[in-house]
Amino acid sequence: MPVPDLIFYNIRMSSSGIRRISAIVLLLVSLVILIWGIWPIKRHVHTTTLIIDPSQLPNQEQEQFQLSLDTPAVIRLGDSDQIILTLGKDGDANFPSEAFSTPHEDGETVNLSNDNSQNIIVQARLDLPGISFTPKGELSQSKRPGTPVVFSWRVLPEKTGNHKGTIWVHLQYEPESSDEMIRQPLTAQVLEIEAISLFGLSGSSARVIGSVGVIAGVVFGIVGSGVWLWDTIRRRLQSDG
């Protein structure tokens, strides 16, 4: 093979190898970014028993509730998730509830019958600095016999880091025999959520960049392999000739 042709061939082989290596690196990096963006988020579920001292409630028997708090352990920046609080009693169906009921905002009360002596209103409020959430304010629902009360909040982190918050839960008793209203704190559930990013990328950005990178890596890899294969075949044809 003449010297100029050999030099030109070596240059083409070198550039073809660089393209293949670049395509492999692009594919691997993009796969890492994409996997980070779509990997399922781990959740924490905490269940506890809450007992109300009957001495604090006139003419009441001891109340015992089961509380389940379901929170994401981490959230990717830019992604939203749910915090779910379920409050029920022993024997309530679907506890913890698999169906997320729509919470009522700003203290709105659901008028549901309870028993013949009183109406129990459950009120919950989320405080979570550093993370945007809806609905705001205090949520309120009536406790129906045999059915747990479910509150849910949609959360969206505004910045990375560990964010600590509290869910305040109160019970409000409204005896039908009088106009007296009794409101008692039930529990303050502390929660912690870590908002994360990948080199500053949000979850949605990682999914877009990762998907585009994987497609580009595959295309460049195919093109580079095709060029290398064609050069190899042509070299053998020239040597045979």
- In angstroms, the Cα distances linking 184 to 59, 88, 106, 196 are 15, 17, 18, 37
The length of the chain in residues reads 241
The 10s digit of each residue's pLDDT in 198-226 is: 988 999 899 999 999 998 888 877 776 66
- Most confident range (mean pLDDT) of 5-19, 41-55, 70-84 is 70-84
pTM of the model: 0.71
Q: Is the pLDDT reported for residue 19 higher than 80?
A: no
pLDDT, average across residues 167-186 = 79
Q: Is the pLDDT reported for residue 50 higher than 90?
A: no
The 10s digit of each residue's pLDDT in 111-167 is: 333 444 457 889 999 999 989 999 999 999 888 878 899 999 999 998 999 999 999
Predicted confidence band at 175 (pLDDT cuts at 50, 70, 90)?
low
Residues facing 150 on adjacent strands: 86
Q: How many helices (H) and strands (E) does the chain have?
A: 2, 10
The 10s digit of each residue's pLDDT in 64-110 is: 788 999 999 999 998 999 999 999 876 565 555 443 343 333 333 33
Does the bond joining 135 to the residue before it have cis omega, within 30 degrees of 0?
yes
Rounded percentage of the chain residues whose pLDDT exceeds 70: 66
CA distance 120 to 138: 16
Report CA dihedral (81, 171, 47, 42) to the nearest 10 degrees: 10
191-211 exposure pattern, b = at least 16 Cβ within 10 A, e = fewer: bebebbbbeebbbebbbebbe
